[in-house]
Structure 1
Amino acid sequence: MDQDRAATVETGGLGDIVVTAQKREERLQDVPIAISAIGADFLRSRDIGSIDQIGTIAPNVKVERSPTNKTVSQIAMRGSVTVNPSVLFEPAVGLYVDGVYIAKAQGSIFDIADLERVEVLRGPQGTLYGRNTLAGAINLVTRKPSGELRGSIEASYGNYDMKRVKGTIDLPAFGIFSIKLSGQAQKRDGFIDVVPNPYPQAFLARPSSVDDTNDLNQRSLFAQVRVRPADSLTIDYAYDYSRYRQRPDFAQLHSFNRNGLPQDIFDPNSPGYAGAGAFFPLDLYVRTQRQSSASLDADQLYERLRTDGHSLTLAWDLGTAELKSISAHRRTRWSDALDLDGSPLPVGATQRFTRYRSFSQELQLTGGLADGRLKYVVGGYYFRDKGETLGPQSFFAGATSFQADYGQHTRAAAAYAQVDFDLTDRLPLT
C-alpha cells in the first residue's frame, strides 16, 4: 500500500479504512468476512509492538505466551488453539508479516517496532490463505520506507530495573532507493529471586549460578529497502532479526501425588520414603501460596532464541491488474532448559534444542473490470520447511535418562482463485 493510502488507515471514518484481507486493497466495509483492522495510531497509543499483545485489540482473539516459554505463542481464535509448541504441530491460526507466513509457534513471539496496521481475520480462511487457518488469520503490516527523513526514539524505565529503548529512522530517498531501520532492546530483572537451599537435610541439592528467574533480555532489528525503478514497479526487501537470552518462568511446586508409584516415595509417611524419598525430600519445597523467591538448581534454566528472516516482494502495476511475487526465507534456533520439580534437587530436568528453517514463494494476480463490477484474485503458493528438536531428559540425579528427539519436513504447493461479481449495487456474488 502506498504511504498516502496507508495514512487513511489511521483516520477516523470507517469508509477510509483500507485493508488487504483478500489479497487486494479494499475498504473495510466491503470485505464480507469478520475482520478487525487496527491502525498505527491505536497501536502506538497502547504501546503494542509485540505479537503477544495483539490479543487485547480484537474480540474472540487471545494471544498468550506459552506457560513455560516466553518466545512461544499460543494463538486462540473462536475457541480453537494449538497448545503444543513442538515443531511437529501445526497452528490453528495463520500468522503473516507483510504476506510472509510464520509457520511455527516456537520463535513466533518477536517484536516489531513500527507497525502500520494489524488485520485480524476471524473464521476459516482456507480459500486465500491455505492450510493452518482453520480458526482465522492475523496479518501484520509494517510501515514501508517513505523516502522522507523522519524518525523517532523512545526510552522507558520501570519496575524490576526494566529498561527499554526503541526507535525508527526513515532515511531520505537517494535515487530509486528508500531505506528504513527500526529496532528495540529491552532488559528486566527476574520476578523470582533465586536463594541458596535452606534445608541441609536435602543433601543432594545443587547450588545455583543465577540470582533470579522470570527475567527478560531481548534485541530486535528490522531493516527495509524500497526500490522504485519505474512508476509501475515496486521492489521491497526486508530483513528481521530477534534475539532472546533469558530464563523461563518459575515452575513452583504446589503439591505432588501421594497415592501412586513412584510419586509416593516423596511422602514422609509412605513406607518407601526411607529407601528413596529421603534422597529427594520434595515435601520441604511445597508451597501453596505464590512465592517471590525460590531455591532451584538453576544452572540448567534458560531460554534462548535467535530468529531471522529475509523477504523480497515485487509488485508490478499492469493497469487493470497487479502482479505480485513474495519470496521469503526464515531460520530459527531455539533452546531451553527447564527445572520441572521447582526445587534445587535433581528430580526432573529437560532440555530442547530446536533448529528450523522455511522457504515460501507466492505469486498473485489481482485485478478486475474497469467498471469495478468484477474483481478477481488468482495465485500460486509453494512452501517447504524442516525442523528438528533434540530433547535430553534426566530424572532422579541421572538414574533415569532418555533422549526425546523428533522432527518434521514439509513440502506443500497450492493454487487458489476467487472471483467477485456485483449482480446489483447491493448483491455481490463470490
Structure 2
Amino acid sequence: MKYTAFNSLLLSGVCLSSLSLTAPVMAQEDEFSLEEIVVTARRREESLQDAPVAITAFSANEIANRGLTDITELAQSLPSVTLEASRATNSTLTAFIRGVGQQDPLAGFEPGVAIYIDDIYLARPQGALLEILDVERIEVLRGPQGTLYGRNAMGGAIKYVTKKLPEEASLSVSGRYGSYNQTDILAAASAPISEGFIIGGAIARLKRDGFGKNLTLGTDNYDKDIFAARLTAELSPSDSFFVRLMADYTDDDSGAKHGHRLTASNISGEAVLDDVFDTRAGAETNASTSGINGNNEVENKGISGLIEWAVNDSLTVKSITSYREDYTESVIDFDSLAIDDLDAAVIYENDQFTQEFQALYNTDTLNVVAGFYYINANAANDFDVVLGQLGRVAFGSELTAYTGGDVNTKSWSLFTDVTYDLDDAWSLTLGGRYTSDKRSADVLRQSFLGTPSPFFGGSAVAISTTSDFENSRTFKDFTPRILVNYKPSDALNFYASYSQGFKAGGFDPRGANLVAGGEDVEEGFSPETLTSYELGLKTTFLDGRAQTNIALFYSDYSDMQIPGSLPIDTDGDGTDDDFVGTVTNAGKATIKGFEFEGTLAVTESFILKGSMSILDAKIDEWLVNDVNVADQRKVQNTPEFNASIAANYTYTMANDSALNFNISWAHVGKVYQFETPVDLIDQDAYSLFNASIVWSDPEGQYTIGLHGKNIFDKKYKVAGYNFPTLGLEGTITAFYGAPATVNLTVGAKF
C-alpha cells in the first residue's frame, strides 16, 4: 500500500477506521455528548480537541476496562506507533513512532522516542517497558518534541502520568488471575498527616508462568516475576505552592527469555520446535554465563522532586529534579541450543541525574513555556560473547569476545514555546531549542581463549585487543518549531506545523579497529536530524457525539543512526570468529504519513472508536563503499498500514450497577525487523482480537472483570537475531508476542 493511494483511501479510512473503547459519555438531560478529555501536552490543561498536536490519551478508566497491563499494549490502538519488548528481554523497550526509534539497548545509543514518568525523562531503555500501575492517564505524542519538553525527542514522546494523592485517606486493592498461572496483586494507599501534607504508596507483585518451556533446563520460557513499589509525599502549604517527593523501585527477576530457532541446527541437527515459545537454550548453566552465575535480573530505582509555585494568576515556575539508576544482568542464548555455540553474559549499568527549570506564563492571549534542562547520564555495558563450539574445534578452548563500553552524556539545553492568539480564531506558535550534548566514551574490546573473560572473574587468556580507546565529542544544534492554528469554532480545529528534531552522535562500544575504517570507530558516529511538516484537522460534530482527528505529515530524515552487529573473519581462514559493531549514518530517508482517529457515541451507552495510519517510509540514500544500496533497505519497525476498531457498550442493571462490554480488533501491516530484510524474521501482516467484560457497583467501589487477549491465538514475531554464519550451528531466531490469554480481575476502593 503506497502513499500515492491516499486519495482513494482517505474516505474509506474515515469511514472504516477508528472505533475504540471507553470514551465516556456525558449525559445532558435528553441529550448526550462525548466527555471532554483533558491533556497537558503543551504544559497547560486543555481539551484534547483543542490541542493542535497529534496526540492520543488513555484515561485510567479506559485502561482498566481494557485490562491493559503494560505500555506495549497501547500500540494496538495507536497510529504510527510500535512498542515491543526488546529481543531477549522482558522490561527493555523498543519504541518507534513515525519511523523513528532505536532497537539497540547498548550504551552509546539513545532512544528516538522519549519516555517520561511525571516529567522525568528515562535516558535508557532498560526498565522503560513500564507496567501500568496506579496511573491517571498516558499521553502519546507523535512527531518531534523539543520546545515543550526537557529532552529533545526525534520521533515523539510517551508521558506516563501517575495519580495525585487524594486529600482524604484512601485504599485500593486489585488482583488478577489467569492463563499461565498469572497472579498479580496491586495495592495503593494514602493518608493525610497534617493540613496540606499527604503521604502515599503503591506496591505490585506480578507473576506468571512461561508461555513455553526450556526443554534443556526444565524451566519456564517467557515467564514474569516482578516486584514494584512507589512512595510519594505531597506538601501544599498554600494554594499557590506544591511540592512532591517520589521514590520508586522495581525488581524484575523473570527468567531469561530465549528465542525460537527458525532453522534446524547445522551440526547437532536439532529440528525446529513445534511450539514457538519453547527453547533448548542452555546458557544459564553453561560456562559462557558463569561470570554472572547464569543470572537474569533487572533492578531499577529512582527519586524525584517537583516544586511548583504559582507566583500569580499568570506566572508559574517549576523545578523538576531526579536521580535514577538501573542494573541488569542478562543471559542471552543467541543460538537457543543446549550447547554454547553462541552465548553471551551481559551487564548493563546506568545512572542519570536531571534538572529542569520551567517558567509558564499564561494570559487570555499569550501562552509561554520557557525552560532549562540538564542531564548527566552514564551508560555502561560489559558482555562476553562466547563462541564455544568454534573455539573448541579451532583452538581446543572456548573463544570469548569481551566488549566493555562506558559512555557518558552531559547535555544542557534552553527551550521556549510561545503561542499568541491573533484573534478569536487564529493563533501563532514560535518555538526553539538550543542543545549542547557532550559524549565521552571509554571502549575496550579483547578476544580470549577460554571463558569467562577476566572482566567477568574468569582466567581466560587474552589473544588480541581489537579496540582500546577513549574519546569525546560535543554536538550542538538549534531546532525550531512554527505552528499556525485556526479554530473558527468549537467544532473545527485546523493546524499546520513545521518542526525539527535532533539527536546527538556518539560512539559504538562494539566497534573494532581491526577492520577497514577502524579509525572511524574512535571518531564515533554523527548526529541525526529530522524535519517534519504536518497538517492537522480536529473536528467535533453530531452535537458533540462524534470526533475525528486527522494528521498528514512529511518528514525528511537525515543521517539516520542505524547500529548493528556483523560477523567477521579476523584471521582470513574463511570462518567468522568474531563480530563487529557497525553504525551507519544512512544518507537520507523520507517518511510520509496519514493518521486518523475517531470516536462516535452511537447511543449514550454504545461508543465506537479506533485508529488508522498509512505510512510510506523509504530510505533514499545508503552508501556502502560509495554505492547507494537504498533499494535493498527498509525502515524497520514501521508497518505501512495499521488500523484498530473497538466497541464499548455499557449496560446499566436494575440496581444501578453496570456491565461494560469491550471488543477490539487491531491490524498491523508487514514489519521489517531490521533495515536489511530477512524473510524468516520479518513479520507479515496480522490481526489481533481482544474482548473484555467488567462489572462495577453503583458507586464504582468494586469491580470484577474478565479479559481475553489475542483470543484467536495468533502467533506473530516482534523481534529476532540474525547471525547465520557466526558460530557453527547457524543462528536465526525470533521472539513472539503473547499467545491467547484469559484473566479475571477484581478490585476494591475504600
TM-score range, shorter chain: 0.7 to 0.9
Give the CA deviation at 1:30. 2.5
Alpha-carbon spacing, 1:220–1:71, altered in 2? closer, same or farther (3 Å): same
2:580 is matched with which residue? none
Q: Give TM-score scaled by structure 1 length.
A: 0.84
Report whether the alignment pairs 1:361 with 2:361.
no
Equivalent residue runs for 1:324-335 within 5 Å: 324-335=318-329
2:697 is matched with which residue? none
Equivalent residue runs for 1:5-404 within 5 Å: 12=26, 16-129=36-149, 132-196=152-216, 208=217, 211-255=219-263, 267=266, 281-283=267-269, 285-287=270-272, 289-291=274-276, 293-297=278-282, 298-299=284-285, 300=289, 302-319=295-312, 320-369=314-363, 372-396=364-388, 398-404=397-403
1:309-337 per-position Cα deviation (integer Å, ceiling 9, x unaligned): 11100010111211111001000001201
Give the CA deviation at 1:57. 4.0
Stretches of structure 1 lacking an aligned partner (at least 5 in a row): 1-8, 197-207, 257-265, 268-280
1:385-418 per-position Cα deviation (integer Å, ceiling 9, x unaligned): 0011111121125521120111210011111111
Alpha-carbon spacing, 1:71–1:423, altered in 2? closer, same or farther (3 Å): same
1:354-390 per-position Cα deviation (integer Å, ceiling 9, x unaligned): 1100011111111223xx1111111111111001111
1:197-221 per-position Cα deviation (integer Å, ceiling 9, x unaligned): xxxxxxxxxxx4x522221110001
**Contact residue 14 and residue 28 of structure 1 kept, 8 A:** no
Amino acid at match of 1:133: A
Task: Give the structure with the higher percent strand.
Answer: 2
Structure 1 Cα separation of the partners of residues 318 and 152 of structure 2 = 23
Give the CA deviation at 1:132. 4.5
Alpha-carbon spacing, 1:144–1:427, altered in 2? closer, same or farther (3 Å): same
Alpha-carbon spacing, 1:294–1:366, altered in 2? closer, same or farther (3 Å): closer
Structure 1 Cα separation of the partners of residues 99 and 373 of structure 2 = 28
**Contact residue 86 and residue 105 of structure 1 kept, 8 A:** no
Q: Secondary structure at the match of 1:409?
A: strand
Higher RCO (C-alpha 8 Å, min separation 6): 2
Alpha-carbon spacing, 1:109–1:292, altered in 2? closer, same or farther (3 Å): closer
Report runs of 4+ in structure 1 exceeding 6 Å deviation.
none
1:408 is matched with which residue? 407
Alpha-carbon spacing, 1:364–1:43, altered in 2? closer, same or farther (3 Å): same
**Contact residue 15 and residue 27 of structure 1 kept, 8 A:** no
Structure 2 Cα separation of the partners of residues 17 and 292 of structure 1 = 40
Structure 1 Cα separation of the partners of residues 46 and 206 of structure 2 = 37
Identity of aligned residues (%): 27
Q: Secondary structure at the match of 1:134?
A: coil
Q: Secondary structure at the match of 1:56?
A: helix
1:194-253 per-position Cα deviation (integer Å, ceiling 9, x unaligned): 335xxxxxxxxxxx4x52222111000121110012221100111111111122333233
Q: Give TM-score scaled by structure 2 length.
A: 0.49
Amino acid at match of 1:239: A
**Contact residue 112 and residue 222 of structure 1 kept, 8 A:** no
Structure 1 Cα separation of the partners of residues 278 and 37 of structure 2 = 49
Give the CA deviation at 1:31. 1.7
Structure 1 Cα separation of the partners of residues 303 and 215 of structure 2 = 43
Give the CA deviation at 1:47. 2.5
Structure 2 Cα separation of the partners of residues 359 and 33 of structure 1 = 29
Give the CA deviation at 1:173. 4.5
Q: Secondary structure at the match of 1:90?
A: coil
Alpha-carbon spacing, 1:30–1:15, altered in 2? closer, same or farther (3 Å): farther
2:595 is matched with which residue? none
Stretches of structure 2 lacking an aligned partner (at least 5 in a row): 1-22, 27-32, 390-396, 430-750
Structure 2 Cα separation of the partners of residues 218 and 15 of structure 1 = 35
Tell me the matched-pair count: 385
Q: CA RMSD in A?
A: 2.1
After the TM superposition, which of the residue ranges 286-295 and 30-39 deviates more from structure 2?
Answer: 286-295
Structure 2 Cα separation of the partners of residues 99 and 48 of structure 1 = 22
Structure 1 Cα separation of the partners of residues 151 and 235 of structure 2 = 32
